A and B are shown apart, each in its own frame.
Chain A
Amino acid sequence: NAGVMQNPRHLVRRRGQEARLRCSPVKGHSHVYWYRQLPEEGLKFMVYLQKENIIDESGMPKERFSAEFPKEGPSILRIQQVVRGDSAAYFCASSPVQLANSGNTIYFGEGSWLTVV
């Protein structure tokens, strides 16, 4: 979905640094979802946010990872003290309402590729 904008597209961080990934949803969408794709692994759900609220963070690692979706501005996925295992593609998706069981689907943005060296 060309409407979901993610940046940076590629990010290189040294171990111990912080990574911030930004997601601007389709205009008017107030629901944002983050997924991660580790090398040779399937996409995995991380977190679901509405404006100013975390709805479901059951897929987020317990430490170093946080996400926010402020009233104004993009959603931010923040990874503190990155390690090599954080190297992955991070995809964001958005929707105007909470996704229903049928008729609504997830359309991903172009993704942010994080490399930790």
Chain B
Amino acid sequence: QKEVEQNSGPLSVPEGAIASLNCTYSDRVSQSFFWYRQYSGKSPELIMSIYSNGDKEDGRFTAQLNKASQYVSLLIRDSQPSDSATYLCAVNSGGSNYKLTFGKGTLLTVNP
């Protein structure tokens, strides 16, 4: 069974710090990787996608992908209280372009 693993948290960081969120996946043929942010009672919101090994930066967010280690991470620089949410890692299931396997999410709390 294809799995995506994340630490459930909570991860607590002070305002202005770097938050580091990690995710591992089991399906070696996965090619697309996503980070979603979900506020309580709301729908998941896509914040980053990454398809190639290495880093991808978008504003305060950096996604890192290492396919050899089957590892993807999300760094949030200059964390703000508004970043407090659950972060979901998602991976496309091998050979399936529309079927994403999600981790259970990591709860991030940014303390003012």
**A→B interface (CB under 8 Å):** 31, 33, 35, 40-45, 48, 56, 58-59, 89, 91, 95, 98-102, 104-111, 113
User: Which residues of chain B from 14 to 38 have any CB-CB distance to chain A below 8 Å in the complex?
Assistant: 31-32, 34
B47: shortest Cβ distance to chain A, in Å? 11
Given A48-B99, A56-B99, A99-B98, CB of A105 within 8 Å of CB of B88: no
B-to-A contact residues, CB < 8 Å: 4, 31-32, 34, 41-46, 49, 51, 88, 90, 92-93, 96-105
Query: Are the C-beta atoms of A48 and B32 separated by less than 8 Å?
Result: no
Contact (Cβ within 8 A) B103 A106: no
Give the number of A-B contacts (CB < 8 Å).
Answer: 65
User: Are the CB atoms of B99 and A45 closer together than 8 Å?
Assistant: yes
Say yes or no: A42-B99 contact (C-beta < 8 A), given A102-B32, A105-B49. no
What's the least CB distance linking A3 to chain B, in Å?
13
- B99→A108 contact, CB < 8 A: no
Instruction: Give the complex CA separation of A105 and B44 in angstroms.
Output: 12
Please give the distance in Å from B5's CB to the nearest CB on chain A: 10
**Neighbouring A residues of B104 by C-beta, 8 Å:** 40-42
- CB-CB under 8 A from A110, the residues of chain B are 42-43
